[in-house]
Structure 1
Amino acid sequence: MAATAPRQGLPPRLLEIDGLKVHFRTDDGWVRAVDGVSIGIDRGETVCVVGESGCGKTVTAMTVLKLIAMPPGRIVGGSILWQGRDLVPLAPAEMQSIRSKEIGIVFQEPMTSLNPVYTVGEQIAETLRQHEGLGRRAALDRAAEMLRLVKIPNPQRRVHDYPHQFSGGMRQRVMIAMALACGPKLLIADEPTTALDVTIQAQILDLMAEMKERLSMAVMLITHAMGVVAETAQRVVVMYAGKVVEEAPVGALFANPRHPYTQGLIRSIPRIDRAATHKVRLEAIPGTVPSLLNPPPGCRFAARCRHATEACREAEPPLRELAPGHFVACIHA
């Protein structure tokens, strides 16, 4: 597995997910949403987890903080090592001490994550009172300082405003301020720019990069946008149908994608350097994602792959290291 590959002479990873399996019980059976995923994140590193909707990337991220509903969700295998400590067996009270204080999270839609009946200052201050032991006044002053840090104008006044008084981009800044209030070592950002227009998306990504450098933290960015990946990642993990199919440094992934699914994702990106001189038709990946209730044997991408052979449908391909740090789960790579 890529996340557990030997690391001669290197320190242990900040976060190491190894063979994680998360299943959900439904009326039709068990959905294998995450099926043997391994991802490692080093201190100060930005890792993008990319894939189409339903591939398991958000479930993987939410499981790190044990935010999936259990039941119907269930961790059926693997480990989640946080600074060497396995989070899987921890009780809810023990996990509460890790959330926000050591690992912060920014959700996709801030309006559904912020409580509409409390001011944004009160919501940031609550985190500080719980994890830092600050009094009400000190916590509110720190909340205003966090709003200033994420570039919200007039933070001393706006700390008393309610979520509906902020624009979508400003609400996402509030969520980032809340996630970073206790100085976590890792920020998990789940599609933090999806609901925003392009200009605001760029501002939020720039802000996250600035906060990462200022606080010396690692970032796990969940996205389906390959443009965001190219702009922000140091390393990329590509997921498909609950599994990791490719992992590589960002430059290597875009220069030489080895898995047919990754190649399809990259071919689907508009190229402005070609659009002016050529009429280039964007490629779509044919077919549909297989059911995770009863996934097919062998490679889960085989039914959509132009290179698939009978061998692809018989045995599941392991992740192989084809170049330093470049892992691919494809027998034809």
Structure 2
Amino acid sequence: MSEALLDIRDLKTWFATDGGVVRAVDGVDLRIERGETVGVVGESGCGKTVTARSVLKLIDMPPGRFAGGQILWQGRDLIPLPATEMDKIRSKEIAIVFQEPMTSLNPVYTVGDQIAEVLREHENLSRRQAIERAVEMLALVHIPNPKKRVHDYPHQFSGGMRQRVMIAMALSCRPKLLIADEPTTALDVTIQAQILELMQEMKDKFGMAIMLITHAMGVVAETCQRVVVMYAGKVVEEAPVEALFGNPRHPYTQGLIRSIPRVDRAAAHKERLEAIPGTVPSLLDPPPGCRFAQRCKSARDICTQGIPPLKEVTPGHFVRCVL
């Protein structure tokens, strides 16, 4: 197997709390090849964002810590790297777009100055050169009148335009991997579609890979080549997007797909959406065996007698389920 761009192996990111240790990410394996888009899906609290932030070591330590595993970036383990080395990788090689740009952009600096700061840090440009490049990046992400808007502040942009600014900032150094953490959550559906289309356009232009963190299965179906499904800190299924939607094998994945609204079906049959019963288990004290067993209609005694391994059931399709 060729060397992946990003290869996460048995990653454990845990947090110390007054109530005990929260195993937010508990043995995650995830590969991203050059130029591909991988969706990481699951409900809130499953460990998606902690996995993403772990890649860039954006975890507050303490209370967080890496309890095990490796994060191999082009074959080099990032976990032992000192802060000075990680600073060279962030933005330059791996960039991230967060779900709420208003909390990520500094309200007292113009968007041009914020993009220019990233460029001056990594590209050794003068301020004038960096501002010129910032104008180019704003134009690239289709912000009208970029020469004027480069001097505006974040509050002068709409939510969709702020997200475009974040993408411009993330891509300003031409990274090899873009991590997009719920990039369309706070936007209406029309703007969501525009942002996803923009990300695809930028991916094609720069030849980068994308790690798309989302809970929206429809977004994954539209944009990704491969899907990783997480539940309670673990990967429970991984497959090419066609295989996952065509033949989901894990009961949790099946539940997620059944809960997607279907316009054609709803109009014809007035069907109610099917909810997954129960709640996500506490990661302070995870249940023995399969972490989904307490919510699974097909669960048997064997499901509580040990955590099942992630097995390859068909080429490229992996499932963590004894059934």
- TM-score by structure 2 length? 1.00
1:75 aligns with 2:63: no
SS of structure 2 residue aligned to 1:53: coil
Match of 1:3 in 2: none
Q: Deviations over 1:99-122 (max 9, x none)?
A: 000001100100000000000000
Residue type of the alignment partner of 2:42:
G
In structure 2, C-alpha distance between the alignment counterparts of 1:78 and 1:321, rounded to whole Å: 21
In structure 2, C-alpha distance between the alignment counterparts of 1:193 and 1:68, rounded to whole Å: 23
Residue type of the alignment partner of 1:173:
R
Report the number of matched residues: 323
Match of 1:295 in 2: 286
1:326 aligns with 2:317: yes
- Displacement after TM superposition at 1:273 (Å): 1.8
Match of 2:229 in 1: 238
In structure 2, C-alpha distance between the alignment counterparts of 1:274 and 1:73, rounded to whole Å: 45
Equivalent runs, 1:267-306 vs 2, <5 Å? 267-306=258-297
SS of structure 2 residue aligned to 1:39: strand
Match of 2:57 in 1: 66
Q: Deviations over 1:180-220 (max 9, x none)?
A: 00000000000000000110000000000000000000000
In structure 1, C-alpha distance between the alignment counterparts of 2:319 and 2:25, rounded to whole Å: 18
Match of 1:228 in 2: 219
SS of structure 2 residue aligned to 1:97: helix
Match of 2:140 in 1: 149
Match of 1:30 in 2: 21
In structure 1, C-alpha distance between the alignment counterparts of 2:120 and 2:278, rounded to whole Å: 51
In structure 1, C-alpha distance between the alignment counterparts of 2:162 and 2:197, rounded to whole Å: 16
In structure 2, C-alpha distance between the alignment counterparts of 1:300 and 1:140, rounded to whole Å: 50
Match of 1:206 in 2: 197
Q: Deviations over 1:28-78 (max 9, x none)?
A: 010000000000000000000000000000000000000011110000100
In structure 1, C-alpha distance between the alignment counterparts of 2:10 and 2:278, rounded to whole Å: 28
SS of structure 1 residue aligned to 2:200: helix
Match of 1:263 in 2: 254
- TM-score by structure 1 length? 0.97
In structure 1, C-alpha distance between the alignment counterparts of 2:228 and 2:153, rounded to whole Å: 37
In structure 2, C-alpha distance between the alignment counterparts of 1:267 and 1:29, rounded to whole Å: 35
1:196 aligns with 2:196: no
- Displacement after TM superposition at 1:281 (Å): 1.1
- The structure 1 residue matched to 2:161, chosen from 170, 173, 188, is 170
Match of 1:248 in 2: 239
- The structure 2 residue matched to 1:138, chosen from 118, 129, 137, is 129
- Displacement after TM superposition at 1:315 (Å): 1.0
In structure 2, C-alpha distance between the alignment counterparts of 1:259 and 1:137, rounded to whole Å: 54
1:186 aligns with 2:186: no
In structure 2, C-alpha distance between the alignment counterparts of 1:275 and 1:264, rounded to whole Å: 17
SS of structure 1 residue aligned to 2:89: coil
Match of 1:101 in 2: 92
- Displacement after TM superposition at 1:20 (Å): 0.1
In structure 2, C-alpha distance between the alignment counterparts of 1:220 and 1:274, rounded to whole Å: 31
Structure 1 residues without counterparts, runs of 5 or longer:
1-6
1:41 aligns with 2:32: yes
Q: Deviations over 1:229-257 (max 9, x none)?
A: 10111000000000000000000000000
In structure 2, C-alpha distance between the alignment counterparts of 1:192 and 1:68, rounded to whole Å: 19
Moved over 2 A (4+): none
In structure 1, C-alpha distance between the alignment counterparts of 2:101 and 2:150, rounded to whole Å: 16
In structure 1, C-alpha distance between the alignment counterparts of 2:42 and 2:266, rounded to whole Å: 25
1:20 aligns with 2:25: no
Q: Deviations over 1:248-285 (max 9, x none)?
A: 00000000000000000000001112122111111000
Residue type of the alignment partner of 2:295:
R
SS of structure 1 residue aligned to 2:288: coil
1:55 aligns with 2:60: no
SS of structure 2 residue aligned to 1:75: strand
Residue type of the alignment partner of 1:226:
M
Match of 2:108 in 1: 117
1:91 aligns with 2:75: no
SS of structure 2 residue aligned to 1:142: helix
Residue type of the alignment partner of 1:195:
A
RMSD, matched Cα: 0.5
Match of 1:217 in 2: 208
